[in-house]
Amino acid sequence: MTAASGTGATELFGKVALLGVGLIGSSLALACRRHGLAGRLAGYARSAESREVIERLRLTDSVHAEPAEAVADADLVVLCVPVGANAAVAEAMLPGLKPGAIVTDVGSVKQAVIRDVGPLLPEGVHFVPGHPIAGTEHSGPAAGFADLFEERYCVLTPPPGADEAAVGRVAELWRRCGSRVETMEPAHHDKVLAMTSHLPHLISYTIVGTAYDLAESERGEVIKFAAGGFRDFTRIAGSDPVMWRDIFLNNREAVLEILQRFGEDLSRLQRAIRWGEAEVLEDRFRRTREIRRGVIQLGQAGTFDAREPHKDDEAG
């Protein structure tokens, strides 16, 4: 299967291989086409069903059932699979990697990908881990849209000794996709994301699970009379369960540390409610409202989804 790729002097890479073409992979493919960032796009998907969707939507110029076939002659390889699958997919792609290729990823946990992928890569292949902090609760090849990365942050966590030119090319890719690029130490990234992304998803899954465990009559009323807050929680809880399973297992130390602090804060609020400490509650709510205002001022309150106007998407 072939399709016309973006062309012109703005090409950054002759060939980009996307190993995994779900929400992030398909959005990156569409952004690369829009901005003419790659001469050719190759996609890898494990399931025949996904490969059929990729071909039908003409997301990439070729679609492969084996990672090594997808990465053959690729200048840039992007791992877009769940964090727990990185090692197996990276090992399977090794026979097809060419010298001088750049390998990056889009995972939400950076120490894990450095641990699992870095040691596998041969000398002469450059490794630049990355994390575009953008997403929706949708998944699969049909979920992508080219605007996903516009005005969102992308964090790069290059390991010590990483090739500066390779880091610069990956950074430029994300800039041309519309992202604001930052560089961060991997452990620091994982702790920050444990607070800003991983904990909110864990809370969301817990709240929706608690509602599901209610008696059947009450459960129906919870769903029927769901207000905005609960709707937001159910939206986040609709995210890919495999992806989030892997995130929690691979960032367990940071998540458990933040979860412990959250539990202590929740206990303080519980005590304030029990003893009618109105000033404590109001002070807490005023301070947290300022954080929300800061998020809005930075333009990070939501990602526009062209398929669903006015939808406030959760960054993952």
Nearest to 32, CA basis, from 148, 137, 126, 168? 148
pLDDT for 1 equals: 38
- Using an 8 Å Cβ cutoff, are 129 and 105 in contact? yes
CA distance 90 to 38: 21
The whole-model pTM stands at 0.81
Q: Is the dihedral of CA 91, 83, 162, 101 positive or negative?
A: positive
Nearest 5°: the CA angle 271, 277, 283 is 100
Kindly state which CATH superfamily the domain 188-297 is placed in: 6-phosphogluconate dehydrogenase C-terminal like domain (1.10.3660.10)
Distance CA 209, CA 93 (A): 38
Nearest to 44 by CA among 101, 86, 100: 86
Tokens describing residue 76: 């840039």
The amino acid that residue 72 corresponds to is A
Q: Beta-strand (E) ranges in the chain?
A: 13-19, 38-44, 62-64, 76-79, 102-105, 126-128, 130-132, 153-156, 180-183
CB 128 within 8 A of CB 167: yes
Sequence ranges of the domains in the chain: 13-185, 188-297
> Are 126 and 163 within 8 A, CB to CB?
yes
Q: Which CATH superfamily is domain 13-185 in?
A: NAD(P)-binding Rossmann-like Domain (3.40.50.720)
> Would you give per-residue pLDDT tens digits along the chain (316 residues)?
334 344 444 789 999 999 999 999 999 999 999 999 999 999 999 999 999 999 999 999 999 999 999 999 999 999 999 999 999 999 999 999 999 999 999 999 999 999 999 999 999 999 999 999 998 878 899 999 999 999 999 999 999 999 999 999 999 999 999 999 999 999 999 999 999 888 888 888 888 887 777 766 676 677 666 656 677 777 777 777 888 899 999 999 999 999 999 999 999 999 999 999 999 889 888 887 776 676 566 665 554 333 333 333 333 3
Q: Judging by beta carbons within 10 Å of its beta carbon (0-12, 13-18, 19+), is residue 313 exposed, middle or buried?
A: buried
The pLDDT of residue 210 is 79
pLDDT score for 190:
96
